[in-house]
């Protein structure tokens, strides 16, 4: 592994941004972090994260339904963890929010009457 600490930090940040933007799957992000940042084989990385090799393979291939604990275990060595991020509001999301607002303000809504 010939990358220095600054390059590794920039790579981690790049992968994190790609993942947050939805341009990279969780499995691809984990695989890139493992190979490009650490240079470790799957078995070495799984042992370091205290996961079974099978769990790591499933995460990297996007198979199954990994637990939050497992996902955090693979991201922790890079200073990352799973979380909720704001996504860009789409016209569909805006439309749903508008519909909910109309329903809440509607004349047949008991909550709307009580609030008045």
Q: Is the pLDDT of residue 71 over 60?
A: yes
The rounded distance, in Å, linking the Cα atoms of 91 and 61 is 32
Q: What is the pLDDT of residues 97-108, one digit of tens each?
A: 788 888 888 766
Record the pTM.
0.72
Binned at pLDDT 50, 70 and 90, residue 116 comes out as very low
């Amino acid at each position: 592994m010939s990358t220095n600490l600054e390059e590794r930090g920039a790579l981690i940040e790049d992968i994190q941004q790609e993942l947050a933007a939805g341009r990279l799957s969780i499995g691809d992000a984990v695989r890139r972090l493992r190979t490009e940042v650490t240079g470790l084989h799957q078995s070495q990385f799984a042992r370091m994260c205290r996961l079974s090799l099978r769990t790591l393979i499933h995460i990297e291939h996007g198979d199954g339904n990994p637990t939050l604990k497992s996902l955090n275990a693979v991201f922790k060595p890079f200073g990352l963890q799973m979380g909720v991020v704001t996504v860009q509001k789409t016209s569909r999301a805006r439309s749903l929010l508008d519909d909910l607002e109309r329903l809440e303000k509607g004349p047949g809504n008991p909550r709307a009457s009580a609030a008045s």
